[in-house]
């Protein structure tokens, strides 16, 4: 009794969800500026890299631990910096960052990343 009910219920729910997701994806593709899409692609790459390192650390080895910390911190740090850049160059946030021009935001991002990578490579070996 419960089985058929739940299954009959779940199939419309899942179709609703997939419809919602595809709607969301379409509106993202249509309404997001290409610049932000580009940043999002980079963020996705960083998340993938961080997740892979974490999985390797948990499943295989955390030795040498400093290398794990360096690699993982580089992913996290780069993600934070890139996400900040995305927030500052987003035209919808223009009112929030009146004094920060997109050029200035990118310069901050570049300087922060270079400092981050300096520490990461120092800590890696």
Partner 1 sequence: MRLLSSALITLLALTKLSFASSNSVLVVLDPSLDREDYSIFFGGLEERGYNLTFRAPKDTSPAITNYGVPNYDHVILFAPDTKSYAQDITPQSLVGLLSENTNLLIALSPKQTPLTSLAAEFSLILPPPETPLISHHPARSEPPTTIPVPVSSSPILTPGIPPIWFTGASHALGSTPMLVPILRAPAESFAADPTSDADSDALVSASEKGGEGLWAGSQMGLVTGFQTNVNSRVVFAGGVNMFSDEYARKELPSGELPGNALFVTDVAAWVFQEKMKLKIDAVDHHRVGESEAPEKYTINDEIVYTAHISAYDSETSTWKPYSGIDDLQLEFTMLDPHIRTSLPPVPGSPGTYQVQFRAPDRHGVFKFVLNWKRKGYSYLESSTTVPVVPPRHDQYPRFLSAAWPYYAGAISTSVGFFLFSALWLAGDVKGERKKGSKAE
What is the nearest approach in angstroms of partner 1 to the Cβ of residue 83? 13
Measured from the CB atom, the residue of 63 and 99 that comes closer to partner 1 is 63
Q: Nearest-CA neighbor of 69 among 45, 55, 53, 81?
A: 53
Distance of alpha carbon 86 from alpha carbon 40, whole angstroms: 8
What is the nearest approach in angstroms of partner 1 to the Cβ of residue 53? 5
Q: Are 75 and 49 in contact (CB under 8 A)?
A: yes
Q: Does 33 bind partner 1 (CB under 8 A)?
A: yes
Measured from the CB atom, the residue of 78 and 90 that comes closer to partner 1 is 78
Give me the helices (H) in the chain, please.
2-31, 34-59, 65-89, 102-124
Residues forming contacts to partner 1 in the complex (CB under 8 A) are 33-35, 37-38, 41-42, 45-46, 49-50, 52-53, 56, 60-61, 63-64, 67-68, 70-72, 74-75, 78, 82, 106, 110, 113, 117, 120-121, 124-125
């Amino acid at each position: 009794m419960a089985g058929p009910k739940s299954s009959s219920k779940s199939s419309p729910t899942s179709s609703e969800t997939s419809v919602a997701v595809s709607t969301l994806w379409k509106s993202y593709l249509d309404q997001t500026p290409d610049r932000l899409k580009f940043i999002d692609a980079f963020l996705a790459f960083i998340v993938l890299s961080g997740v892979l390192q974490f999985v390797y650390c948990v499943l295989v080895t955390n030795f040498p631990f400093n290398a794990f910390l360096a690699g993982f911190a580089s992913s996290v740090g780069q993600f934070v910096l890139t996400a900040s850049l995305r927030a500052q160059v987003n035209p919808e946030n223009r009112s929030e960052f009146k004094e920060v021009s997109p050029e200035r935001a990118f310069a901050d991002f570049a300087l922060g990343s270079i400092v981050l990578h300096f520490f990461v490579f120092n800590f890696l070996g």
